[in-house]
Amino acid sequence: MKLQLALDLVDIPGAIEVVNEVKDYIDIVEIGTPVVINEGLKAVKEVKAAFPNLTVLADLKIMDAAGYEVSQASQAGADIITILGAAEDESIKGAVAEAKNQGKQILADMIAVKDLAGRAKELDELGVDYICVHTGYDLQAIGKNSFEDLATIKSVVKNAKTAIAGGIKLETLPEVIEQHPDLIIVGGGITSKEDKKAAAAKMQELIHQELVHQG
């Protein structure tokens, strides 16, 4: 189980500052869609240059022209690139092929997908590396979370790793850990805290305890 920090509401210097604070306790740093929209792929490039040992995910939420967009993100230094699970199969295939070409990985984001089990099975067969259940910002606002959805996709996925995103906080982390996703994505649960380092450290500790317990 890995911990991914999602950065959504920062500029490039702000991103570097936050990562600097928590870098010892996270495995992956996500350059969130708002950051890419505001700053471009330059944000990916600069964060990767500043933290070459961290895995960098570019949350492009690709919907079309997938091969091209994956190639651009790869060149900028992204290790993992996101595509929407709702995209056309041809787009998924294009993203997967280009990522394999570049030695990168694809995470399919299930935001707004209605038939989670059916689509997760298809995406798994299309060769994506991660399938992520995601309660978006707008649904979190009305109290939804994706903890049950994780069990749904875990029951059908054979090859891809599973990930979960959306409103995960220290208080809810234990119930997420219980389901053993491969990747736990946390944004505000770390970034909104006064002491970000302590929040990330505590989360990593809980994850590690579970791994030891399993081992």
The per-residue pLDDT for range 115-138, each reduced to its tens digit, is: 999 999 999 999 999 999 998 788
Q: Architecture of 2-214 per CATH? A: Alpha-Beta Barrel (3.20)
b/e per residue 23-57 (b: at least 16 CB within 10 A): bebbebbbbbbebbeebebebbbbbbebbeebbbb
Closest to 169 measured CA to CA, from 137, 152, 192: 192
SS (H, E, C) the chain: CEEEEEECCCCHHHHHHHHHHHCCCCCEEEECHHHHHHHCCHHHHHHHHHCCCCEEEEEEEECCCHHHHHHHHHHCCCCEEEEECCCCHHHHHHHHHHHHHHCCEEEEECCCCCCHHHHHHHHHHHCCCEEEEECCHHHHCCCCCCHHHHHHHHHHCCCCEEEEECCCCCCCHHHHHCCCCCEEEECHHHHCCCCHHHHHHHHHHHHHHHHHHHC
Task: State the pLDDT at residue 35.
Answer: 97
Predicted confidence (pLDDT) per residue in 39-97, tens digit: 999 999 999 999 999 999 999 999 999 999 999 999 999 999 999 999 999 999 999 99
Q: State the pTM of this model.
A: 0.95
- Give the residue extent of every domain in the chain: 2-214
Q: How far from the centroid of its chain's Cα atoms is residue 2's Cα?
A: 10
Among the listed ranges 183-192, 196-205, 206-215, which one has the minimum average pLDDT value?
A: 206-215
Q: How confident is the model at residue 212 (pLDDT cuts 50, 70, 90)?
A: confident
